[in-house]
Amino acid sequence: MVLILELVNSAIECVVDRVGMDWHPLSGRAKDYGSLAVLLGLVIAAGIWIGILY
Is 32 annotated as a binding-site member? yes
Rounded CA-CA distance 17/37 in Å is 19
Is 35 annotated as a binding-site member? yes
Q: Does the annotation mark 21 as catalytic?
A: no
Is 27 annotated as a binding-site member? no
Is 17 annotated as a binding-site member? no
Rounded CA-CA distance 1/26 in Å is 26
Question: Catalytic residue among 2, 3, 5, 6, which?
Answer: 6
Length of the chain: 54
| Binding site, annotated residues | 6, 13, 31-32, 35
From the annotation, which residues make up the binding site for ATP? 13, 31-32
Q: Name the residues annotated as catalytic.
A: 6
